[in-house]
Amino acid sequence: MTKRKLALAVALAALGTSTVWPGGASAAEKTGAHDAGTGSVDTYELEPVDVTGARMDDGKNLTSSTGGTGFLGTKDVMDVPFTQTNITNKAITQYGDASEPLTSALLMSPSVRTSSSTMYNDFSIRGFQMNAYQFKVNGVPGMFSQTNMPSNFVDRMEVVSGPAIGIHGSTNSESAGGSVNLVTKRAEYGKERLTYTETIGSGGALGEIVDIGRRFGKSEAWGLRINAENIQGKTAVDGEKLTTRDFYVNLDHAGRRSTTNLFAGYRYTKNEGGQRYFDFSGTGANRYTGDRLPSAPSGRHNYSFPGQYIAVKTWTAVLNHEQKLGDTWKAFFNAGYSRNYGSGYVMTASSKVFVRNEAGDFANTLWTRSYGIRNVYAQLGVRGTLRIGDVKNDVVLALDRDWYHAYWGYERNGQYGNDVPNFGSVEGSLRDGVRSVIWNYMPASVHGAIKSGVTTYSGISLTDTIEYKKMAVLLGVHHHSVKATSYAASSGYNRARSTTVTSSANSPTYGIVYRPTEDLSIYANHSESFDKGNVVGSGFMNTGAMLSPAKTKQNELGVKYRKRGVLAGLSVFQIEQDRTIDVRYTGDPNPTRVMEGKNKFKGVELSVSGQIAPKWTLTGGLMHLTTEQQTNTGYNGKAVAGVADWSGMLAVEYAPDAQLTAFARAIYSGSAPIYTGDARKLNVPSYLTCDLGVTYKTKFGAVPAALSLTCYNLFDKRYWMSRPTYNFGIQGYPRSLVLSMTMDI
């Protein structure tokens, strides 16, 4: 399927959203009362009645019309002045590929592209790279690490496209592309749950997943949900092995004047033999000499060296509390604690290898060290409504603070960071795999992780959503300051010295929504975001300096149309972000890193989702991006590395009866530019992959059960994936099968 055909399919589906299917009621039908004595019909008009409520997901669609919008609360997507996609649990279950469960399901948003693997949750929103560090859990940031994330505890995902710091508050790892909030599963009212799922993958990996839930107490005020899984075995990649175990508890309470939710748990994940990252921007002996990328190898081939693995343990706790202060005002408190410990890290440096030529020869040095991340977050705020005549004001004031601690293993000679000793090297080729591995270290030479940096974020956010008749205006501003302290080691394991730098900035957010009819919503927004400002690393004339925070600005204009349960949207946007460059001044032995120039993104998005016919459900999206680097270097005017021009997704489901469901999905990614170490342009070719699956519901005696078979990458496509701002070719995944059986005991 070409990108033109994919575009036509989604466009036709969007145009068909206003179709009236047989049996639908006409808006012009009248109501009346029959007069038994005369046989006549008396017509009359009722007084207007205002009905308020939330449109809830009925379990049929892959996306939902309602979802959380940061501290603005739960809203209908028609009422928010930006692009938002709420991905349901059905999408997570149906398309949550075991190799990348969350990022695979995130593709239901047209803004999202994947560059993920079993090791790392890499993806992008509107051309800006993101990973699991940017995930929020029930609105709290920084609760997980980059390594492969479980999905069994996630009820839905709320995706906001574009800078979102103005509606979420401070975060230790900000991505200007947007935000992803994971909403945890809660016990359901009126239903006890004991669900057991058994899975087996085509590589032989076995999985057992348990989901238990019930409510108790007066009026079922308390709810308990427990999710646990154990998955172990080989994947569809030759020689790759995945181990993941987790246990999560969600306890909630709904009182007359307050609601509380506590989510806590533990996970362990280990990936063995997961090398997928190939860098084409090496220098010196690793310089790439080819004029194009080598042909993509089979996804089954494994280019890891013997003994390569990464293992992580994560402890997480998230608390959310809301308290009524009166009829129209509430206070809220959100807090979280996480501890990630990299109990094993034996990898190539930066988890990649440098490709040297079109024949596919590659090499890199080796790393081995432990690491850790500890994050503590707290947010306190108030939310309320003020009415001035016919004007309604929904006001939010929030204060937050984030304490982020980083730990890295130090070697006995005290070297750290980019000065890692050469523990060894690996060489090989795409044709033959790894040919040689040389180790130059003794395991005893590596010391456990100790503190390498502490960063504290302090923020304040103020928003006002002003509603008048058919129009709503969002006005907001966020300010936060950052204090970053880095520690350096001299000899032994002692922290010899520390450096502290500070930065701060303001980020406004404006938006407007106009709804001329109930079915139509026109919106526009301007949003800004910024990171903490980067400390210049080693090898520069200004090493240790803190660069100003890189500002990102987005302007967006869009329209949404919803008719008979089908939602379609079209938006155009422009994003620009400050960037850094390395300048070598006359006489200086090393370059100086400075903040200079911008990266500009211009895009168009089209989306459609809903039940387009009685037995058919469709979800699709297209995005086109053009990018440009504006900088006083040789890259001026060139496209941003790793950003594909086109992307698209089309998912179709057919349910002929209550027992059988068949589903299919096509994912398209256009070509993306990358650059060699001497600034020559290469292209990561476009690719199209297809997934196909079927689910059959039955009973084993009195026990309801569902049998599912899903094939990912049905045609075993060989492809390279790109990653924004990186000069990577990431090896795609092969065809894989997953068979599962779920029983509601």
DSSP per position, 15-68: HGGG---TTPPPTT----EE-TTT--EE---PPP----------SS-SEESEEE
Distances (CA, A) of 94 to 87, 187, 298: 11, 21, 25
415 domain residue, yes or no: yes
Taking the chain (745 residues) in consecutive chunks of 10 residues, what is each chunk's mean pLDDT? 47 40 35 36 38 48 91 94 94 82 91 90 93 93 88 95 89 85 96 96 93 96 98 94 96 96 96 95 94 96 94 96 96 97 85 96 86 94 95 97 84 38 83 89 56 89 96 95 76 57 88 97 94 75 78 95 95 93 84 89 96 94 96 89 96 96 97 94 97 96 96 96 95 95 94
Residues 336 and 172: beta-carbon distance below 8 Å: no
Number of domains in the chain: 1
Is the Cα torsion angle 411, 413, 417, 423 positive or negative in sign?
Answer: negative
In degrees and rounded to multiples of 5, residue 535 shows phi and psi of: -85, 130
Closest CA to 730 of 669, 677, 678, 679: 669
The 3 state secondary structure assigned to 74-88 is: EEEHHHCCCCEEEEC
Alpha-carbon distance 642 to 649, whole Å? Answer: 19
Tally Cβ neighbours within 10 Å of residue 472: 22
CATH of the domain at 582: 2.40.170.20
What pLDDT digit, counting tens, does each position of 556-605 carry? 999 999 999 899 999 999 999 998 888 878 888 888 888 888 999 999 99
Residues 530 and 479: beta-carbon distance below 8 Å: no
Residues 724 and 178: beta-carbon distance below 8 Å: no
Amino acid at 500: T
- Cβ within 8 Å of residue 131, ≥6 positions away: 120, 121, 122, 123, 146
Alpha-carbon distance 476 to 297, whole Å? Answer: 49
Please report how many Cα atoms fall inside a 13 Å half-sphere around the Cα of residue 222, on the Cβ side.
5
**What element of type H or E holds 92?**
helix 89-95
Residue 37, pLDDT score: 38
Residue 367 bridge partners (DSSP):
347
Locus of tokens 């690996």: 426
For residue 286, give the 3-state DSSP assignment.
helix
Closest CA to 689 of 715, 652, 722: 715
Residues 169 and 509: beta-carbon distance below 8 Å: no
Closest CA to 258 of 231, 222, 311, 308: 222
DSSP state at residue 546: B
**What element of type H or E holds 575?**
strand 566-583
Query: What is the tally of helices (H) and strands (E) in the chain?
Result: 4, 44
Degrees to nearest 5, angle at CA 727 with 135 and 582: 95
Alpha-carbon distance 601 to 610, whole Å? Answer: 29
Alpha-carbon distance 651 to 171, whole Å? Answer: 33
Residue 301 burial (10 A CB sphere; 0-12, 13-18, 19+): middle
Residue 42, pLDDT score: 40
352 domain residue, yes or no: yes
- Cβ within 8 Å of residue 702, ≥6 positions away: none
Closest CA to 261 of 245, 273, 250: 250
DSSP state at residue 686: P
- Cβ within 8 Å of residue 29, ≥6 positions away: none
Tally Cβ neighbours within 10 Å of residue 189: 10
Residue 447, pLDDT score: 54
33 domain residue, yes or no: no
The structure tokens listed for 740 are: 């599962």
What pLDDT digit, counting tens, does each position of 189-244 carry? 999 999 999 999 988 999 999 999 999 999 999 999 999 999 999 999 999 999 99
For residue 205, give the 3-state DSSP assignment.
coil
Residue 407, pLDDT score: 84
Residues 504 and 143: beta-carbon distance below 8 Å: no
- Cβ within 8 Å of residue 658, ≥6 positions away: 697
259 domain residue, yes or no: yes
Alpha-carbon distance 734 to 617, whole Å? Answer: 27
DSSP state at residue 238: T
DSSP state at residue 293: P
Closest CA to 136 of 222, 69, 78: 69
Residue 541, pLDDT score: 87
The structure tokens listed for 181 are: 């909030």
553 domain residue, yes or no: yes
601 domain residue, yes or no: yes
Residues 236 and 301: beta-carbon distance below 8 Å: no
Distances (CA, A) of 726 to 116, 193, 217: 13, 45, 53
Alpha-carbon distance 158 to 179, whole Å? Answer: 8
Closest CA to 711 of 734, 686, 688: 734
Residue 78 is part of which domain span? 59-744
Closest CA to 108 of 98, 128, 93, 130: 93
7 domain residue, yes or no: no
* C-alpha 179: how far from chain center: 7
Residue 413, pLDDT score: 35
Residue 254 bridge partners (DSSP):
259
The 3 state secondary structure assigned to 315-356 is: EEEEEEEEEECCCCEEEEEEEEEEEEEEEEEEEEHHHCEEEC
Residues 627 and 601: beta-carbon distance below 8 Å: yes
Alpha-carbon distance 616 to 627, whole Å? Answer: 37
70 domain residue, yes or no: yes
